[in-house]
Chain A
Amino acid sequence: EDQVTQSPEALRLQEGESSSLNCSYTVSGLRGLFWYRQDPGKGPEFLFTLYSAGEEKEKERLKATLTKKESFLHITAPKPEDSATYLCAVRPNSGGYQKVTFGTGTKLQVIP
């Protein structure tokens, strides 16, 4: 069974204090790993797709990396507006393109 585990559940950072969020996954072959940002009362907003180990993607203060067992979302010098819940999801090779397993998210709070 595919599993996605995100840690920590919650993270509180001072503005400018860099850190990383972790997404560990167990799938029978990875077709794609997705990162989303979710603000309170809103739907998940797509950030990145990673397809193979060693791949990296960047957007402003965020950088996503991928290994064969986990993905990291690195946040450099975060600002209060980066406060949100960050979701990780994996699409396995089996089960067609419809099967996507989501983690429960990391709730990030950035304090001014």
Chain B
Amino acid sequence: NAGVTQTPKFRVLKTGQSMTLLCAQDMNHEYMYWYRQDPGMGLRLIHYSVGEGTTAKGEVPDGYNVSRLKKQNFLLGLESAAPSQTSVYFCASRDRENQPQHFGDGTRLSIL
């Protein structure tokens, strides 16, 4: 019973490089989310999806793109990484309306 799985767990990038973070959930949830967590700040929503083929911007979307080609997967892309994107990234999914989100264990990303 995996729940929400994120890959990779750790990554170091140089400024200007690109990468994709993968989130997979096996709970058949419609809703999926990408957050970032920085010291002293609450989790902030980057992008989200309300179903396969849909995406929408959250609170801090600049510098990121997302895709949801399959219901179980939600990808977060950094086209040209910047040091300000050094953070821990969490993926979450949710079932029906007003239900809680369930989180993966995060990807720790450092941009040098």
Contacts and interface: CB of A to CB of B under 8 A. Distances in A.
A41 B48 contact: no
Contacts of B106: 41-43
Contacts, number: 56
Given A43-B105, A43-B106, A102 B43 contact: yes
The size bracket of the interface on B is: 20 to 34
A102 B42 contact: yes
Interface residues of A, number: 25
Interface in A71-112: 87, 89, 91, 97-105
Interface of B: 4, 31, 33, 40-45, 48, 50, 56, 58, 90, 92, 94, 97-106
Given A32-B98, A87-B43, A105-B42, 8 more contacts: A31-B98, A42-B105, A43-B103, A49-B100, A97-B31, A98-B56, A98-B58, A102-B43
Top 10 nearest A-B pairs by Cβ distance?
A: A43-B103, A102-B42, A102-B43, A46-B100, A43-B105, A44-B103, A97-B97, A34-B100, A42-B105, A43-B104
Interface of A: 4, 31-32, 34, 36, 41-46, 49, 51, 87, 89, 91, 97-105
